[in-house]
Structure 1
């Protein structure tokens, strides 16, 4: 009897323990306390404890159970289903709660309602649902950022009519912009693995007070996943595996991450690999976009051949590998140490817009080859954070980082035996000190300092592809040049009343450039460029709630961009028959911005957001005709070319309107829509105005969304307006080969729309699947200024497993 009783007791205890379950946050994997767990009749109710645990023994196996907590989407399931899936329930935080805290404006947590700037926050759930191929697509899927592409391995964001080196990229609080970020379209954002991004915050308008040079049009902050600590002394193991397929370019992507956590330390390892094939365009649109022929090499000769499938854009495919390693050590509640290592590398990938460029006669193609070599990015980032009151701060962060960039360009003309190559390497060091102080009554201060050093190595060569003979050629930049920046800033948040907050800030930045020019290939009329520039920028804004459901914001700010090595020292083939030469006599450009925003909530059923802004840019750094040692033309790569240079030669203004709508029709149904209208002009010193190059067309989206118990469906429309010939920038009018032709035979960018469908459903708490069909009507279109035609009808399949 004693043995029977003992066995019975052990079985009983095991059954009871088997019904102990844990409720966790789906995004950060942390337990959630005080979750109400009840049945349909509410006759049985339990609450989770501080470790997110509760006992379901009082519930029947098949009865419906609801998990509910303020700020999270309710989850309904059965006890049997939970017990079959590791006794864990994941709850998803509501979108409005996720957007409640913003990090980007001061580098410390602030309530979004207190911030006068327009901020767009995208979280890991948004990314998981939209399944972007790259981080450029991640931004584009928001419906609020315009993205240009010259090739499949690209994506150049535009915010409020500013792009490339007038926008700032940041990863985990570290500036990604380097000294060779150019005014032409950039693709550095694709180095960021979207599978590792837990949140992206986009600041619209100047952010120079906190981020310094380049933050004129906006700031894009990517915050990647951190290693997660365990709650007990035992080792906690968790991770994710994912697969994605896209039919339009036969994409195959694999992702894996593994988290090992103990109470004081944790490690997160993440890896992603993607193989993209050639991109196919849609079936309905301008015939001029078709890839009717391409160049191949046969029997030692370049041959122009007909493309059997003109909708296939040959060559556009490439491969990419991303690796991330995070380590966190928290010895106590006051100190925290974080180490982050990122590495990204692509294969060679073609610059498609250069490969479709016709020759002078118009009978063939100008280039036989034009491709980027592997784009490599490495970042090592060490951050120390201390919390606790001090005479001068309540918390501080020390962030130090080293980044290594590699890129190259390879160009060979049709029937030319010489391939020209330029290779660039940038080593970037940065140190940031950021302090938070909340001691002065209702005034909260943030202040800090920053130092950045960039060293550039640049090499040029030319190779005979028949004899393999290698010879020197001009480098793209002055080899051994450097760029430095030192700055200090202070930012204040004053809560005058519970419904009225004032934010203001000031920053002084100093920038140095040191470049020595090689006169072996070109007789430069100068030996070096030594720029020494300072800039003072500021901002002031207010957030006011005259009523609980109405918010008004007003913000005035200045921004600047100091010339970098790309501005002062670059020599490159900019367009057919044109070459850009160095200009050592440059000064910073300044932006002055005014913005008004309004937010209205109608009984939590309808929310409307709107913003209008005006930005004025003075001493704008623009590409204009120039004389090199007295000559208006020089020979470059065997071609007589018009000389141009970057100059402080223009003023510019951009203004626009941004609208957003969210409507919650029923418990499961909602509507979401965004609309952006932008206008902009450049004004020369002689008063002549012309359309600004990076001002996008009117664009927006409209979504009908249905969600229920782990299922989500989204039927949506994306649309872009037309840019007529008269509204095209002068530099864009010359690119006739990437645009459609109007009735008068002139290039223009037509309007377009796509109809799309996305879905995601939870097979279990651990497994999610997604099915999407993009561009359902198979439209053939090009986004404004893009050299590659957008994807046609595209089936996207995704599968994710959490363990």
Structure 2
């Protein structure tokens, strides 16, 4: 027995030593917050650096030598520095998630090929907004998100909306995409669009904006630019157990008494995960600023008393009655990864607003100038649903290294309701669109220095449209003309190939080509209007291409050149719409339309001065031919017909114009020290439309000169931004002809003519990390309380606006 004890004593000692190491070792794993992969070579140290370690190839390190209350810093050249106590790490399950720094040239872009590409190799101008910058600006809607970037101009006809303008193009000449699925449908119109507000800013992981044509990858509508919204993905667990995490946020804004509540949560196992998000917004009527044109004030509004419309004085003329609305957004995503090669993703998206007024129609004066033209003019609930199923396979193959199948179904619903002052008939139209799409995209990286991206797309849209009028006193409902031909369809089939060739390490060529075929089929009902045609049966095709280079003559200097073409095929809105475009005018169908084409050239320069100062500039020129524009027309030989009970001038969408748009974009980023930075943007755009008769006029969607200057201070817990937003003037002679007639939304110059005055706002925003779980935001917009309208907008912008937000991560 003693011999046995002596023999095994070293073994027992070794066993207890190993047990002690296991018991007292406290491993933590550091992960990339976006990709979910472990990060090696992370420096880990305490405040005075007397205790240090680094993560291994599995992202792990041992923290047993650190005390429970000691602050531990995780640092890497490519990631944001993160500090936390050891006790807090244990509460987080011994997992740390780090975010990549936003180093622009090393950034990965998805939008140009639908696969990951380095931004420095792309010749087109692309701007990105990540979730952290979005959270800091705290936008009410995704339209505000784009506007806050300082690089996209946004028009608003009402509070519940926002229509982006990029390089002189807007509405259905820009393409919206959500998680790789085009949002544009067959009734996206040339007038201002509000669909971008259906995308919840709280769920956005990253937004990429392509400036200039993107038709090679995205087909029709991508003429002036593409706005890609990528929503948050579910996160897997990298342990054997189920991981639960989430966040809750609340925001208040004083200008419209906003009350917004958001909650999301994630469930993750090693090979499957789920992400759920719910956001509810409640917006009251918006209050405008104090200092500005008196003509912007809301002096009176219409109420219904004793079955009579009455014009009453507004107790607070700065309050824009009625402009408030509410909205709910729900997102549910599932992901399943059975192996490193396969990934299955399902996304379910839903957005719905309440009724919301089209504010610019509610302030139109009556013909006598003494009252208001409309008693009611509102949109019914704007609804959007998308089911998106995506299968991704990666691995070596003869024809591809990656393949992605994306199938989606979308449902859109919108309606319009208007009633003239003193009328008893409420006219309504209601539209529903069912949209199916399928994309098959391939990535091939096997051909030496040549990377190929290719694929195909099929899209099918069906439009259901009805019209009615209801007597508000008797509630008798009669059928009337629909806005669009009911049952009309729009479909497209396309194939593309895109190539990236690294001629030299500092010289990349990117080129692509796409062919799209488009079919439009619509049957016109003649019950209400004697159309001189029975149907529209259009078959059109378009070949588009791009060629560009990205060149680094020096490591700190980048020069880009790019030429590209874009197209937009006529949709159901173009060929089949009946609506009142402006007071006294009605737009009628025109089945004889062809696609419009854009030819674009641009040059960009980026210079980095020792990582302290970055200067960026771009110049572009776009030529648009066969432009689809609204012009005077004849209907059965008549230039005037009756619409909703009144004589109206006849107009139609026609291939009747050319357009020239050019401009310059500048950016400055100055990093003054570890805490201070200065960021500024400036955009100048000029545009001219030329009709077939040679008549020139200013382009409607050429935004005024606009820019911003931000002075930012930040440390690990606090970020503060003092900034100025600026818009230049558009004089009366530079206003588009269609805008000159909207005197009720513009100020008057010295000659009494409408024009868009210049304006500026002084603003402050801040964010403070109270603890690892709690974050607070505070903002004060338009501190000098300016009263202004952004160009072409119906609603007046907010006055001084206090924004308070609180977020909790669990």
TM bracket (short chain): over 0.9
- CA distance 1:796–1:12, shift in 2 (3 Å): farther
User: After superposition, where does 1:77-156 map in structure 2 within 5 Å?
Assistant: 79=86, 89-96=96-103, 100-156=107-163
**CA offsets per residue over residues 259-317 of structure 1, 9 Å max, x none?**
11111111111111111111000111111100000001111111100000000000011
Q: List alignment gaps of at least 5 residues for structure 2.
A: 1-12
Alignment match, 1:542: 549
Alignment match, 1:427: 434
Q: Does 1:327 align with 2:360?
A: no
What TM-score does the superposition give when structure 2 sets the normalisation length?
A: 0.96
Q: Does 1:598 align with 2:605?
A: yes
Give the CA deviation at 1:86.
6.6
CA distance, structure 1, for counterparts of residue 32 and residue 119 of structure 2: 21
CA distance, structure 2, for counterparts of residue 12 and residue 243 of structure 1: 46
Q: State the SS of the aligned residue for 2:323.
A: coil
Contact 2:36–2:236 at 8 Å: present in 1 too?
Answer: no
Match among 306, 314, 318 for residue 311 of structure 1? 318
Q: Does 1:253 align with 2:264?
A: no
Q: Does 1:725 align with 2:732?
A: yes
Q: Does 1:481 align with 2:480?
A: no
CA distance, structure 1, for counterparts of residue 59 and residue 368 of structure 2: 72
**Stretch deviating more after TM superposition (61-70 or 554-563):** 61-70
Alignment match, 2:3: none
CA distance, structure 1, for counterparts of residue 37 and residue 262 of structure 2: 22
Alignment match, 1:555: 562
User: After superposition, where does 1:603-752 map in structure 2 within 5 Å?
Assistant: 603-752=610-759
Match among 48, 52, 55 for residue 55 of structure 2? 48
Contact 2:563–2:602 at 8 Å: present in 1 too?
Answer: yes
Give the CA deviation at 1:56.
2.8
Alignment match, 2:4: none
Contact 1:228–1:267 at 8 Å: present in 2 too?
Answer: yes
Contact 1:90–1:765 at 8 Å: present in 2 too?
Answer: no
CA distance, structure 2, for counterparts of residue 549 and residue 360 of structure 1: 62
Give the CA deviation at 1:742.
0.4
**Stretch deviating more after TM superposition (737-746 or 83-92):** 83-92
CA distance, structure 1, for counterparts of residue 247 and residue 397 of structure 2: 40
Match among 410, 420, 424 for residue 403 of structure 1? 410
Alignment match, 2:539: 532
Q: State the SS of the aligned residue for 2:601.
A: strand
- CA distance 1:80–1:427, shift in 2 (3 Å): closer
CA distance, structure 2, for counterparts of residue 10 and residue 557 of structure 1: 65
Alignment match, 2:213: 206
**CA offsets per residue over residues 496-518 of structure 1, 9 Å max, x none?**
00000000000000101000001
CA distance, structure 2, for counterparts of residue 277 and residue 381 of structure 1: 33
Give the CA deviation at 1:32.
3.6
RMSD of aligned alpha carbons? 1.9
Q: Does 1:380 align with 2:387?
A: yes
- CA distance 1:9–1:493, shift in 2 (3 Å): closer
**CA offsets per residue over residues 424-452 of structure 1, 9 Å max, x none?**
00000001010011121211111100000
Contact 2:105–2:120 at 8 Å: present in 1 too?
Answer: no
Q: Does 1:755 align with 2:762?
A: yes
**CA offsets per residue over residues 34-79 of structure 1, 9 Å max, x none?**
3111234433211234554433332356665432112112234555
- CA distance 1:267–1:469, shift in 2 (3 Å): same
- CA distance 1:134–1:28, shift in 2 (3 Å): farther
Contact 1:89–1:765 at 8 Å: present in 2 too?
Answer: no
CA distance, structure 1, for counterparts of residue 566 and residue 245 of structure 2: 43
Alignment match, 1:465: 472
Paired residues, number: 796
Q: Does 1:413 align with 2:420?
A: yes
CA distance, structure 1, for counterparts of residue 89 and residue 234 of structure 2: 26
Contact 1:165–1:183 at 8 Å: present in 2 too?
Answer: yes
**Stretch deviating more after TM superposition (399-408 or 55-64):** 55-64
Q: State the SS of the aligned residue for 1:479.
A: coil
CA distance, structure 2, for counterparts of residue 161 and residue 69 of structure 1: 42
Give the CA deviation at 1:229.
1.2
- CA distance 1:112–1:334, shift in 2 (3 Å): same
**CA offsets per residue over residues 120-158 of structure 1, 9 Å max, x none?**
010000111111000000100100000000000000000
CA distance, structure 2, for counterparts of residue 240 and residue 266 of structure 1: 16
CA distance, structure 2, for counterparts of residue 99 and residue 476 of structure 1: 48
Q: Does 1:494 align with 2:501?
A: yes
CA distance, structure 1, for counterparts of residue 436 and residue 602 of structure 2: 34
- CA distance 1:786–1:476, shift in 2 (3 Å): same
Q: Does 1:37 align with 2:44?
A: yes
- CA distance 1:86–1:763, shift in 2 (3 Å): farther
- CA distance 1:118–1:98, shift in 2 (3 Å): closer
Contact 2:105–2:119 at 8 Å: present in 1 too?
Answer: no
Give the CA deviation at 1:10.
14
CA distance, structure 2, for counterparts of residue 589 and residue 285 of structure 1: 40
